A = this chain, B = another copy of it.
Amino acid sequence: MRWSDIGHSACSVARALAIVGDRWTLLVLREAFFGIRRYEDFQRLTQASPRIVADRLAKLVAEGVMEKQRYQERPVRYEYRLTPMGRELHPVMVTLSLWGQRWMGDPARPPVRLVHRTGCGRPTMPVLVCSECSEPVTAPDIAVEFGDAYAEERAALTRTPDALGRVTPGGSEP
């Protein structure tokens, strides 16, 4: 199983991971959310090698998560910005960061503090709530129901490696 294949899975987690499921990619995105836009700064602040940074930025642009814009003509210089698609990764970064602070950090000295700038103005630790009733939700509160396509894909995953292949090409329910 290769990662190029996994992007074709029906699973939205798998598809998301095919794009952003890479450490360097996520560090680049972290910097993007901090407001970083220029290649040099991504490279410096992530401490990734130039190769990695160029590669990850190019992939993010290709996938539509970031866009490359000229910010100056002479000499030609570029900057990378989050697209709307990229900006909507914010909840992922926030929840990941909060998890890291909760379980791996010294609570007395958090590395970052989030402030609800446009709202109540207070330091905040955002919480996931139900879109329908606005109650906080945790793992046991939520039941997962598989859609038809994904249920089929999972059912096809028996011990025979070809089973998955037979589902993907056709893709329709008779």
Contacts and interface: CB of A to CB of B under 8 A. Distances in A.
Contacts of A10: 111
Interface in A137-166: 137-150, 154, 157-159, 164
Given A44-B159, A95-B95, A131 B137 contact: no
Interface string A87-98: 111111111111
Nearest to A114: B142
Contacts of A1: 46-49
Interface of A: 1, 3, 6, 10-23, 26-27, 30, 33-34, 44-49, 64, 82, 85, 87-105, 109-120, 122-135, 137-150, 154, 157-159, 164
B116 A141 contact: yes
Q: How many copies of this chain?
A: 2
B130 A90 contact: no
Contacts of A132: 116, 120, 122-124
A20 B111 CA distance: 19
A38 to B, nearest CB: 14
Contacts of A23: 3, 6, 17-18, 21-22
B91 A16 contact: no
Contacts of A34: 144
Contacts of A104: 12, 15-16, 19
A44 B158 contact: yes
Given A16-B96, A92-B92, A116-B137, 4 more contacts: A14-B100, A44-B159, A45-B157, A90-B139
